[in-house]
Structure 1
């Protein structure tokens, strides 16, 4: 592997700009994709869940594609991934495709994004200075969060002013997202020229061991909970309350602002409680958040309680609380590190966890879409809360000595 001190000093700055551009792209695309589906296609509740299957399939395919392209450097693969995002978003944004073609190019865009996710982490670690990896990753994460904020603010004012609209022939949010990815691609080309060669990835087989079952169980449960957070949490505001993309942007602005404060607090919580108690806390938190979210969703769906400002404000707080569950991924990564028999098992086992996550996303979303339509939205959230029993079980049965490592 090439030593980091041999790389140009501005390499990490260039890559930080790439991460910022990708965050901008996500803010103009996936973060408001539910609004696009409603405004452009008026999709049903069942169909909204089913659409998640082709959108999440690249999360599984990406592992095999990256393994097959192991001879290529990460920076070259990242350029390819960004190019796929550009193609998919440009077609969605400029050609007003029919529903079937929309699914196809949504898949193309999603494939590019899912190929890029693991490459970003790998490249960031390769470019970080020895002994400063944690600090560097923290700074880049802050820049990424700032990108989410900037795009969310732009979405809010863009939809309020009418400049951004999903009912027009040209969907400007997707066009802007494509431009952000194109900028990222050009920056990556500059980065590739400035480096003598990024280290190639090592082949590794997917690893499944019964000793790692605690990690697989919490990943299984979290895959279900994450899907509810990403898809059906916003669906409450879009479908039940009829809010447009500008309100969605406000939600994401508030959530990102709170998240910038909460992220380090979750890390400190792990240090204070230890892994065993942290997993118990995670399970209890999930049950509480999704349980309350279910009661609010039922009230809105049945019309038993009018959406007063107080109730709406409480629902926004619960949404922000559910969005904060993404920081529990810190606990999960540490769980795998804690129970790994050897360091070489960590990466392939995390790949298995990622596969479990996306299998859950593909299978559970259509089912939950049907449950939403047939029995009511509250059951979607209550079942997500019930899945947190896995986290509670793992926490209660986790070896205490692991917290001392």
Structure 2
């Protein structure tokens, strides 16, 4: 199926929803995803300059604030245990409202201490959304098309990012043109943007409340474990743990390298983020399809190799234009995390998916306090380059663990069996794999993706392969 043809949903899809309900689910989740990425990206865009110019923070102090922000991520397994009792749609609505309230409170902050409560509240909502968005998207996906569906929703989200960044850029550009001194007048406008972010979050919450839920999904939610820890999923836990450790380095220090060390202003940083969002919008669907076509092992290997190049670029480059390129590269590589999520979907029990995604996010935050503080200490004592050199350790270990992926052997008994998984082992072991294609057709616009479901497609008969024996990280104990 070409990238421009959309994802076909059959009436007998695993969600138990009718074709009409599936279409409505796609539309509502697409709108919510669009708004949620506006909610996330406006604060991320303006925060470095808001913290530096209005609060008076530097790069090291920002590392400490990041450590505080990530505490709710570590506690997400307990937050999810409460939220998931409400069902996925209601849990998502609650998460967005909480995030919106937190971002609104940033508007009243005037000191580092004043940032702590808004940071914690917004972080609870933000991290809850991270695991709920994928669980909702996967509830609409046929087996074997998980990557494509998640990729399309990533593209829709980046369309929301583009809108958020263009609005922010327009406001900052107008302020600079009319005042001649952006830093002197930007304060009230940055605070106003935090308030607007909260409003978007509430609207997104109202939309997702209408998300269709089948009777089977309701029964599954009631029976699902609220906290899940299974040794069969430990490779997923390790990968998310290492991804989270690497991301702490990036989020805490990459923007501040540009702003604090190379003097990049809010206008330039926003422009850079718009370019990044356009790239990801146009390639999100393609990356998802490549995950479905070439498998999680190959795509994650490629992604981690490129992560290594990016981190070395931040550490070693003295050219701001090369840093722009590495910044764009890292943001693009976020798309490759689709492979980690689809890997879990293919090996786990259906009722374990949402709580296991929450567990993965908590694992990603086990080092949320230690890594930013260690990075801040390295920055202060040795220079901004050393947090990124420290981050390459996590990337090397991720590359090694990725080679242990063996989906047919690691699927546990009771996980959904599909014909698409029957040849997974063969695809992973092909010695002469073709070079990854650079293009497989156009990625549809956000409007086009609202009609991803097609009810006139013929049902496809699927045959479940024999359940393999449970295995651990390497496929055996």
Are the counterparts in 2 of residues 24 and 147 from structure 1 also a CA contact under 8 Å?
yes
| Residue 199 (str. 1) matches residue 222 (str. 2) | no
- Decide whether aligned partners of structure 1 residues 373 and 333 sit closer, same or farther in structure 2, where only a CA change above 3 A counts: same
Which residue in 2 is equivalent to 1:304?
Answer: none
Are the counterparts in 1 of residues 151 and 335 from structure 2 also a CA contact under 8 Å?
no
SS of match in other structure, 1:360? coil
Q: Which has the higher helix share?
A: 1
Which residue in 1 is equivalent to 2:314?
Answer: 293
- Superposition pairs of residues 18-33 of structure 1, within 5 angstroms: 18-33=32-47
TM-score scaled by length of structure 2 = 0.71
- Decide whether aligned partners of structure 1 residues 345 and 359 sit closer, same or farther in structure 2, where only a CA change above 3 A counts: same
Which residue in 1 is equivalent to 2:120?
Answer: 107
Are the counterparts in 2 of residues 276 and 400 from structure 1 also a CA contact under 8 Å?
no
Are the counterparts in 2 of residues 294 and 379 from structure 1 also a CA contact under 8 Å?
yes
- Superposition pairs of residues 110-149 of structure 1, within 5 angstroms: 110-126=123-139, 137-149=150-162
Which residue in 2 is equivalent to 1:388?
Answer: 395
Question: How far off is 1:187 after superposition?
Answer: 2.6
Which residue in 1 is equivalent to 2:61?
Answer: 47
Cα offsets for 1:366-404 (capped at 9, x unmatched): 110111111111111111123222123224555698642
Which residue in 2 is equivalent to 1:305?
Answer: none
Greater shift, 230-239 or 137-146, is seen at 137-146
SS of match in other structure, 1:88? helix
Distance in 1 between residues matched to 2:201 and 2:295, nearest whole Å: 40
| Residue 232 (str. 1) matches residue 253 (str. 2) | yes
| Equivalent residue in structure 1 for 2:196, among 176, 196, 199 | 176
SS of match in other structure, 2:103? helix
Cα offsets for 1:268-307 (capped at 9, x unmatched): 65567655554443443222221122012xx3xxxxxxxx
Matched residue count: 387
- Decide whether aligned partners of structure 1 residues 353 and 140 sit closer, same or farther in structure 2, where only a CA change above 3 A counts: closer
Question: How far off is 1:136 after superposition?
Answer: 5.3
Distance in 2 between residues matched to 1:78 and 1:125, nearest whole Å: 14
- Decide whether aligned partners of structure 1 residues 106 and 253 sit closer, same or farther in structure 2, where only a CA change above 3 A counts: same
- Decide whether aligned partners of structure 1 residues 45 and 185 sit closer, same or farther in structure 2, where only a CA change above 3 A counts: same
Which residue in 2 is equivalent to 1:150?
Answer: 163
C-alpha RMSD of the superposition: 3.4
Question: How far off is 1:166 after superposition?
Answer: 4.9
Are the counterparts in 2 of residues 88 and 108 from structure 1 also a CA contact under 8 Å?
yes
Are the counterparts in 2 of residues 45 and 370 from structure 1 also a CA contact under 8 Å?
no
Are the counterparts in 1 of residues 77 and 227 from structure 2 also a CA contact under 8 Å?
no
Are the counterparts in 1 of residues 131 and 354 from structure 2 also a CA contact under 8 Å?
no
Which residue in 2 is equivalent to 1:62?
Answer: 76
- Superposition pairs of residues 63-102 of structure 1, within 5 angstroms: 63-93=77-107, 95-102=108-115
Which residue in 2 is equivalent to 1:253?
Answer: 274
- Decide whether aligned partners of structure 1 residues 42 and 75 sit closer, same or farther in structure 2, where only a CA change above 3 A counts: same
- Decide whether aligned partners of structure 1 residues 138 and 267 sit closer, same or farther in structure 2, where only a CA change above 3 A counts: closer
Distance in 1 between residues matched to 2:112 and 2:202, nearest whole Å: 25
Distance in 2 between residues matched to 1:256 and 1:37, nearest whole Å: 23
SS of match in other structure, 1:37? helix
Distance in 1 between residues matched to 2:88 and 2:293, nearest whole Å: 37
Distance in 2 between residues matched to 1:131 and 1:396, nearest whole Å: 21
Are the counterparts in 2 of residues 290 and 381 from structure 1 also a CA contact under 8 Å?
yes
Are the counterparts in 1 of residues 246 and 391 from structure 2 also a CA contact under 8 Å?
yes
TM-score scaled by length of structure 1 = 0.82
Which residue in 2 is equivalent to 1:404?
Answer: 426
| Residue 364 (str. 1) matches residue 371 (str. 2) | yes
Question: How far off is 1:186 after superposition?
Answer: 3.3
| Equivalent residue in structure 2 for 1:326, among 328, 334, 337 | 334
Greater shift, 122-131 or 25-34, is seen at 122-131
Unaligned 5+ runs, structure 1: 300-310
Which residue in 2 is equivalent to 1:302?
Answer: none
Are the counterparts in 2 of residues 8 and 195 from structure 1 also a CA contact under 8 Å?
no
| Equivalent residue in structure 2 for 1:13, among 27, 48, 51 | 27
